[in-house]
Chain A
């Protein structure tokens, strides 16, 4: 059969976790809107927040999507802060105006921010009220993307979790894939599983609200992203059951993820082999090309996208890198445990952040590659450290076999670039 995965005797799962409390350098959950709004084509994301929230979205999105996007910020003003009744009236008015202008909108997410939460603006109530008002055309949901409750990719989790209670009920035995991935990647996953005879397969979120999957006691689901713990909990509450697995990054991760599902659906070894052999070979070949650059190099992860642990697993096991520190905004072992099992103990595992202290550690360790947010990348480069910005990992297709080489290449590129440029800099 397929080569079984070697599980190290001493894995990261049991390693002590370093927890520091200081300044965190990470986006808030509003950021997820940037990719979510592209995935859900009839949804609009209305942040109820401040000018800061609007500015964050604009800065994180850059100007690449300048066309009138399906998100916006209802900016609270002095008057809204004075009396609560006002704020709700104002919100109703802005929503009515928006929906009149955008008849293509079928789902509206009211997204809470720090200011809306601090003034205790009840968006759940607003969503109920607005759903009734705009039924049956538009469904209004709410979730929090605030920086006091969520970090970066947690926004997607909160968004998907808010959808679970309103998914239709079903008794059908179905596989649900959970996570907003680029279509090209999602289609690959569905095809691999379909070729094995696994199905029916549904995806959350669906591109259109009318196609949202059902959920019930016979639903089994697999997460596509490691930051979906609240969504998982919400699905569990609806009777669905998770198929735990390492995440589908790299050849090994993808195979393990597929195998967990194949086992659940009783796919025989021969079928599994037939479907995966060719893409596995391709993935290995593509990863090997990048691994030439990466092998033997050290890597340090700042906490950011929440993908850090599965990526560390991929980079250490398939690309030959050596992890010095692996940190994530938060570590949910029920979700990333299978990945942690595969990483041998050794690297520092840290949760949360005190950015100044962590920078001290990175400077002392001088890793060959540092994975960090955009705010830190150029300053670290200026200190001679090569960096990979974490945000690229959530905007680029990196899951499954056909992207395994791209994923490795994302990390290899900064190193290759440095190798090319150095002599010229020295010659100055």
Chain B
């Protein structure tokens, strides 16, 4: 038993959902209680998908337990097949169904469903989400892909991108562009956008690009064994890694390592004098192993930062990250306990964090700027604009994203010149960030813990002096105002005062407050 508050990874069946949701024509029947349907909102809200994930949940209840949960599973399976007519299905159990041991795979086999049904065994009490993605994709590939004749021209498969991935949507485009510049065609991209039918043709490609090893390594090894397809080991995030990737692919494909660098701006942006202030910035890197590996290298070699701590939460890649840390003269932090991460960051006193949404919040509490480099994701990690991490454009995007939370070079200079100026004083934070001024670090490296809520609360309350000097708030009304959530309190105060002024009221009572509220209601 382990006490957990916030987790980096969900359960393994959520990993399976990420694969199913990324694909088309595949349906997942999940033996699970009703509450597990919460997972749908990850896709429809965080990723803004306009379709429900292709998942049918059995939603068995307590009273079904002694009775026929297996029957409920079979009915759900049949209904799902009839309604959605998928090309293939995957079936499995969530943590609760695992305990009642109905064996969804075995049940589905007996039902005569006329499409391939792939059974998933995802041990919920041992493994986590990334195991679920990798294992599910492997099972689908193992079930559907067969050795085939190669395409006459050189092609490859792009494997690993998923639903709810950190910038997967845009990374695919960058990788395609890199391949296209070398004259290499794309056979199948999977799981993202692929149908089960597409999976059956994986064997035609000459080799595989493993975009995100945590989601596709087992499948790549399987294809290497069964279909004789080699796969790439370099993940093209960062300028150096992208060059290496081009070289690696050229070798696998037997072509010239041609690439078009005209879109790449990052090296000059980094070399130009304005970036001098980036030199030696102490950064702490934490996230999934793939992105941490890439970020550490970019931080040191392409930004001129000093990496003062690094680690990952997915233990499957602990060894890689330990090796990497050694190369940086550090000890890797391998943990999925965010409190440990927070402690390590506080101890390392970095000037910046490259992390996940979790570290962004840790950064807010510690007053350290943070740029997000990896999953777990948040609605902000799905921008409307094109925003890859991979390839040449990815390098540009990363440069912009990482310096955004930092005080601009010129501004930092001014900070020293005008130390006591009210606009530039140390605690004002970067002037281009209206809403998220970091809390100043105490000199000794300690910190003032502050919740995200308390920050905006202050900012909302501060600039309200205007108008209040002519208006008197009676104590009760003032108290009532405090009960209004901080994020609308400023507005409520202004509206009430405007209303009071228009009515010729100079003393604001609780009554006035609510009269005003009714007045502005719509």
Contact = CB atoms under 8 A, between A and B. Distances in A.
B458 to A, nearest CB: 15
Interface in B474-522: 480, 483-484, 511, 514-515, 517-519, 521-522
Nearest to B124: A50
Interface stretch (A56-64, A312-320, A331-339): A56-64
Given A118-B99, A184-B484, A76 B125 contact: yes
B436 to A, nearest CB: 14
A151 B484 CA distance: 29
B45 to A, nearest CB: 5
B1 A77 contact: yes
B412 interface: no
A274 interface: no
Contacts of A98: 3
B137 to A, nearest CB: 20
17 contacts: A25-B37, A28-B38, A31-B38, A52-B10, A52-B36, A54-B4, A55-B10, A67-B452, A78-B125, A81-B99, A147-B96, A148-B61, A283-B518, A356-B83, A373-B41, A375-B52, A378-B48
Given A282-B518, A382-B50, A114 B33 contact: yes
Interface in A36-61: 46, 48, 50-52, 54-56, 58-60
Contact of B5 (A68, A279, A356): A68
A159 interface: no
Nearest to A29: B35
Contacts of A146: 33, 35, 62
Given A379-B50, A405-B517, A409-B522, A63 B361 contact: yes
B50 A28 contact: no
B100 interface: yes
B1 A72 contact: no
A287 B48 CA distance: 31
B396 interface: no
Contacts of A50: 11, 95-96, 124-125
Given A114-B96, A282-B518, A375-B52, A30 B35 contact: yes
Given A77-B1, A148-B62, A279-B514, A406 B35 contact: no
B44 A376 contact: yes
B96 A118 contact: yes
A382 B48 CA distance: 10
Contacts of A93: 1
B40 to A, nearest CB: 3
B40 A25 contact: yes
Given A28-B33, A77-B125, A378-B49, A51 B11 contact: yes
A77 B483 CA distance: 42
Contact of A73 (B4, B34, B83): B4
Interface string A356-394: 100000000000000001111111011000000000000
A51 B10 contact: yes
Contacts of B451: 66-67
B1 A91 contact: yes
B56 interface: yes
Given A28-B35, A72-B5, A183-B483, 14 more contacts: A22-B76, A24-B34, A26-B34, A31-B35, A55-B7, A59-B38, A66-B451, A80-B125, A91-B1, A147-B36, A151-B34, A184-B480, A184-B484, A375-B52
Contacts of B378: 63
B2 interface: yes
B215 interface: no
A231 to B, nearest CB: 19
Contacts of A149: 61-62
Contact of A97 (B3, B4, B56): B3
A217 interface: no
Given A23-B58, A67-B453, A375 B5 contact: no
B59 interface: yes
B357 interface: yes
Interface in B400-416: none
B94 interface: yes
A47 to B, nearest CB: 10
B40 A375 contact: yes
A56 B62 contact: no
B301 interface: no
B35 A147 contact: yes
A55 B518 contact: no
Interface string B1-45: 111111101110110000000000000000001111111111011
Contacts of B49: 378-379
A378 B521 CA distance: 27
A8 interface: no
A374 B44 CA distance: 7
A119 B99 contact: yes
Contacts of B514: 279, 282, 402
Contacts of B42: 59
Q: 6 shortest A-B CB distances, which residue pairs?
A: A28-B35, A147-B35, A375-B40, A382-B50, A405-B521, A147-B33
B65 interface: yes
Nearest to A118: B99
B218 to A, nearest CB: 21
A104 interface: no
A118 B65 contact: yes
Contacts of B100: 118
Contacts of A278: 511
B128 interface: yes
Contacts of B424: none
B62 A59 contact: no
B62 A52 contact: no
A301 interface: no
B125 A55 contact: no
A148 B521 contact: no
Contacts of A279: 514
B263 interface: no
B336 to A, nearest CB: 10
Contacts of A52: 10-11, 13-14, 36, 94-96, 124
B521 A78 contact: no
Contact of B1 (A66, A74, A282, A405): A74
Contacts of B3: 46, 72-75, 94, 97-98
B51 interface: yes
Given A24-B59, A55-B11, A379-B50, A285 B38 contact: no
B60 interface: yes
B57 interface: yes
Contacts of B124: 50-52
A424 B361 CA distance: 36
A28 B34 contact: yes
Contacts of B181: none
Interface in B162-203: none
A287 B522 CA distance: 8
B126 interface: yes
Given A55-B10, A68-B5, A378-B45, A187 B483 contact: yes
A148 B37 contact: no
A27 B38 contact: yes
Contacts of B57: 23
Nearest to A282: B518
B423 interface: no
B259 to A, nearest CB: 35
A30 B94 CA distance: 17
Interface in A2-33: 22-31
Contacts of B6: 58, 66
A255 to B, nearest CB: 16
A334 to B, nearest CB: 21
Nearest to B342: A68
A337 B124 CA distance: 42
